[in-house]
Structure 1
Amino acid sequence: MRLPRFSSLYSRIFAVFWLTLLIVVLTLLLLPNLDPRAQHTIPEPQLKRFEASAQSISQQISRSYGSLEKKLKRFTNKDRHKRFQLYFTTLEGDIITPRGHNKALRNFITMADSPDDPKQKLYGRWMMAGPFAVEHENTQVLMYVGRLWREPPPFFIQILDKPFQLLLVTMLVSTPLLLWLAWAITIPARRLQQASERVAKGQFEADPKLESGPREFKQAGASFNQMVGAINQMIGGQQRLLSDISHELRSPLTRLRMATALAQRKQGDSKELDRIDTEAERLEKMIGELLELSRMQVNSHEHRELADANTLWYDMLEDARFEAEQRGKSMSYTPLQDWPIRGNPNLLISALENVIRNAIKYGDDTIAVQFHQDQEDGEWLEISVEDNGEGVPDGELEDIFRPFYRVSTARDRSSGGTGLGLAITESAIRQHSGTIKASRSSLGGLQITIRLPLAR
């Protein structure tokens, strides 16, 4: 049976309830007609045979002599194996023959006493049928037929007689309906859960499938898609604003550097003009990094694709190793495998590149990059970048990911850094549902550990 489609979750629940109730009502209505222990009409072929037997007995006793009881008694002792028995009573219900205590017959007589409407009913394994009219000298007696019932009880009767089996059958009947209801509820709920997981990973994509199914989930899906659209607009607006502000700052900065150059040409070099030029240069570099950050982040959540770690980072690692060699330093990395990663390729490459170039810049002569899959659950890729430089004080390990933060050791303003590199990296890793942390390296310098979820 194919169930109709319902737009509302509540209507589906009510449909299952009413369908179950309908099955129960139909069972209760049909039960009396199917239960042989209830009183039923006699099937037509048997009814004709019993009526023919009653007429034959009427003809035989009319031709014989003796008392009525003696005449009828010869018809009650024919079956030696007791598989078939005839009973005779008066119209008032008094048993003529065979005499004796017969509880089933006496009970049946009270319910079936009209030869115009004979019935049958099962008592244990004994089926009683009757009454049938037998004529004798202008009087009438009633004949009842008892026969041994060898057929097993119907299956549903056996079930009703045993509560445990009744419970089991009820569960079997209701389970498909409950499974259908659970399926109708869990399918849209699972879609909503998967969409929420995608948003948690930074994939702000509307899913048209959410707006299907029961009315309640359809409304929730539509609201979810509207929320995703609003988040996309908000993120895009903020990043475009940052990009516009950074771009607009470059014009007065360029004029400032030109005015400084003209002043140096007219007045000659001075500490004040050199300081202005140095700060202007640093500001220009900072604005450049802000522009780079905004360019990477504008709609970065929409440009996501599935890639493997080898394709993603191999070229960047080779370039970094070449750069380290040019500086007289040694950089090594463990072999890359085809670990699947879903995300924005430019952001992921830039994030790891910032960390490695920092290690090359501040390390003394050794940089080590290690890749390995998390052994606990196998769903994370862990990347560690170590150097043997001076490192970072323990109290500042968590602060180095803050924008514009610079530590007070070798990694200070004199190095020319703006404090945005690790902030860009932290933002990119967070957009991909990953984590990043800093700690002391076994080489003596700084260790940066990045964890990224692998695509399923």
Structure 2
Amino acid sequence: MPKFNSLYARIFAIFWLTIAIIVVGVLAIPNLDPRKSKEIPSDMYQSMLDARDMIENRYAYDRNLTFILQDLDRHRIQPHRDRNRPDFFITTQSGKILSGRIASSETYRALKNFTSSIDYSDEPTQRAYGKYRISGPIPIILAQQPLLLFVGFDWNGPPPFVIHLLDHPIQLLLVIMLISTPLLLWLAWALSKPAQYLAQAANRVARGNFIPEPELEKGPDEFRVAGRSFNQMVQAVNTMISGQQRLLSDISHELRSPLTRLRMATGLAVRKQGSSSELERIDTEAQRLEQMISELLELSRVQTDSHLQRETQPLTSLWEELLDDAQFEAEQLNKTLSFNAIPDVPITGSPKLLMSALENIVRNAIKYGHSQVQVHFQLEDLALTVTVEDDGPGVPSLQLRQIFRPFYRVSEARDRDSGGTGLGLAITESAIRQHNGQIVAKESQLGGLLITFTLPIDA
């Protein structure tokens, strides 16, 4: 037998419980209708036999049946009759009513209906007529004649709305379905809750938050196993990334050390032998190599640091000061940088990476634009779209998809003489992708390059 904390066991148990409720409601409840003939409980049947014996003993020596019937009628229709005291009715063995004085026409009609609808060969039964119930027949001998005894008494029947439902099966079915609906809703909630936890954890990992989620290891066995495997995967990824980070740190140290010694040796050679074009060329290439290594390591850190602790900050605190500084730098170069209001909404991510992403694009636009740079922010459907365009030489349309590749240069505008290494836009693309965003490059209407990236915003 499967454990009850298994998902399949829960589904199986709740499904059959719901089916049982519906079956009981549709089949069993109508059979509980008190207006249908039912067997008499044993204790009640014994009470009726005792009442029969009492009446027989009381009139054992009376031979006048009319007198006996009148005496029974007189006790039954007293003005202040005890409602807890039963009424006794006498009929012939064929069901003809002998009791003459009956309190009300409703009682008479109920007795007449009961005596005419029962099978006298079967065991005694009982049936309710509104707030009055009749039971019988019990064989009795009065005035030396074999007769039948029926017992009537007041009772508190079910509420009127229950009788109404019993008379309307469709409404009864709707009520039963309404009762079973909470069980089905609870089942849907119980099944969807672990799945929602898993989906939320997967979304956090997709956004770069490699944090194990203890809630995933609770609930049904199937989800608990999946959650445990998911957390183990997250921990393994964290371990792998930490190992890569340590490797990058070691590579940085090992590469920078010989470069530093090379530049020191070049400086000593210049001091001893004087400056020459060859030594200057060596020093220039060493500087470029050092810059390239620094930017390559920065790119690697961007690609691996997304699992670090992230923060939720307003966009204005991230980019407003950055754009103000860029605007000042553009003015020093006799260029114009304009931007609209930054949306005042929060965003979750690495502040350093988000600032670096926009800064690389804006500084490239300032560097290669002739006179103007435009930055535009647009917020729509929980997504922020940022466009940066310039009026510079631009990029050939066939190379627009290539500019985000590491070390890629466009010879017409970004050659080696510009001092670039081809890693700035690669760093930006990686930072945007690590924040679950997208970035594309197009031709600008200003004549230069237009770069657009989109980032999801917290709800």
TM-score (norm 1): 0.80
Look up the match of 1:400.
403
Look up the match of 2:437.
434
Look up the match of 1:388.
391
Deviations 1:240-294 (A, max 9, x none): 3234323312222233334444555666655554443332221111012123334
Q: Give 2:5's match in structure 1, choosing from 7, 12, 19.
A: 7
- Indicate the structure whose relative CO is greater, using CA pairs within 8 Å and at least 6 residues apart: 2
Look up the match of 2:109.
none
Q: Which runs of 5+ in 1 are unaligned?
A: none
Name the CA distance, whole Å, in 2 between partners of 1:21 and 1:181. Answer: 14
Would you say the 8 A contact 2:312–2:346 is kept in 1?
Answer: yes
Q: Give 2:375's match in structure 1, choosing from 360, 364, 369.
A: 369
Aligned residues: 430
> CA shift at 1:426, angstroms?
0.3
Matched, 1:138 2:139: no
Look up the match of 2:455.
452
State the secondary structure of the residue aligned to 2:408. coil
Name the CA distance, whole Å, in 2 between partners of 1:89 and 1:334. Answer: 104
Look up the match of 2:251.
245
Matched, 1:110 2:116: no
> CA shift at 1:427, angstroms?
0.3
Matched, 1:419 2:429: no
Matched, 1:194 2:165: no
CA spacing shift, 1:388–1:131, aligned 2, 3 Å? same
> CA shift at 1:353, angstroms?
0.6
CA spacing shift, 1:148–1:449, aligned 2, 3 Å? same
CA spacing shift, 1:276–1:131, aligned 2, 3 Å? same
State the secondary structure of the residue aligned to 1:230. helix
Equivalent runs, 1:88-127 vs 2, <5 Å: 88-90=91-93, 93=94, 105=115, 107-112=117-122, 118-121=124-127
State the secondary structure of the residue aligned to 1:213. coil
Look up the match of 2:105.
none
Deviations 1:10-57 (A, max 9, x none): 332233245446657877778756634132438699959985996699
Instruction: Name the amino acid aligned to 1:442.
Output: Q
Deviates more, 1:226-235 or 1:36-45: 36-45
Look up the match of 2:103.
none
Would you say the 8 A contact 1:243–1:295 is kept in 2?
Answer: no
> CA shift at 1:170, angstroms?
2.5
Deviations 1:376-416 (A, max 9, x none): x2x11111111111111111111100000000202111111
Matched, 1:216 2:222: yes
Matched, 1:38 2:51: no
Would you say the 8 A contact 1:399–1:405 is kept in 2?
Answer: yes
Name the CA distance, whole Å, in 1 between partners of 2:433 and 2:212. Answer: 21
Would you say the 8 A contact 1:104–1:123 is kept in 2?
Answer: no
Instruction: Name the amino acid aligned to 1:408.
Output: S
> CA shift at 1:167, angstroms?
2.4
Name the CA distance, whole Å, in 2 between partners of 1:65 and 1:18. Answer: 61
Deviates more, 1:396-405 or 1:42-51: 42-51
Would you say the 8 A contact 1:391–1:446 is kept in 2?
Answer: yes
Matched, 1:333 2:339: yes
Name the CA distance, whole Å, in 2 between partners of 1:399 and 1:182. Answer: 48
Matched, 1:409 2:409: no
Q: Give 1:175's match in structure 2, choosing from 154, 175, 181.
A: 181
Q: Give 1:354's match in structure 2, choosing from 360, 367, 385.
A: 360
State the secondary structure of the residue aligned to 1:110. coil
State the secondary structure of the residue aligned to 2:430. helix
Name the CA distance, whole Å, in 2 between partners of 1:65 and 1:414. Answer: 135
> CA shift at 1:58, angstroms?
5.7
Tell me the C-alpha RMSD between the 2 structures: 4.0
Deviations 1:86-111 (A, max 9, x none): 66224xx585869xxx8853552435
Instruction: Name the amino acid aligned to 1:401.
Output: F
Name the CA distance, whole Å, in 2 between partners of 1:129 and 1:249. Answer: 105
Matched, 1:307 2:310: no
Deviates more, 1:16-25 or 1:306-315: 16-25
State the secondary structure of the residue aligned to 1:400. coil
Would you say the 8 A contact 2:311–2:349 is kept in 1?
Answer: yes
Name the CA distance, whole Å, in 1 between partners of 2:97 and 2:165. Answer: 39
Instruction: Name the amino acid aligned to 1:246.
Output: S
Matched, 1:280 2:286: yes
Name the CA distance, whole Å, in 2 between partners of 1:64 and 1:380. Answer: 98
> CA shift at 1:445, angstroms?
0.9
CA spacing shift, 1:35–1:409, aligned 2, 3 Å? same
Deviations 1:281-322 (A, max 9, x none): 211110121233344555342220000111011121111111
State the secondary structure of the residue aligned to 1:399. coil
Name the CA distance, whole Å, in 1 between partners of 2:158 and 2:458. Answer: 61
State the secondary structure of the residue aligned to 1:371. strand
Would you say the 8 A contact 1:360–1:387 is kept in 2?
Answer: yes
CA spacing shift, 1:290–1:14, aligned 2, 3 Å? same
CA spacing shift, 1:32–1:49, aligned 2, 3 Å? farther
CA spacing shift, 1:448–1:19, aligned 2, 3 Å? same
CA spacing shift, 1:318–1:25, aligned 2, 3 Å? closer
Deviates more, 1:286-295 or 1:420-429: 286-295
State the secondary structure of the residue aligned to 2:219. coil
Would you say the 8 A contact 1:57–1:134 is kept in 2?
Answer: no
Would you say the 8 A contact 1:202–1:431 is kept in 2?
Answer: yes
CA spacing shift, 1:422–1:125, aligned 2, 3 Å? same
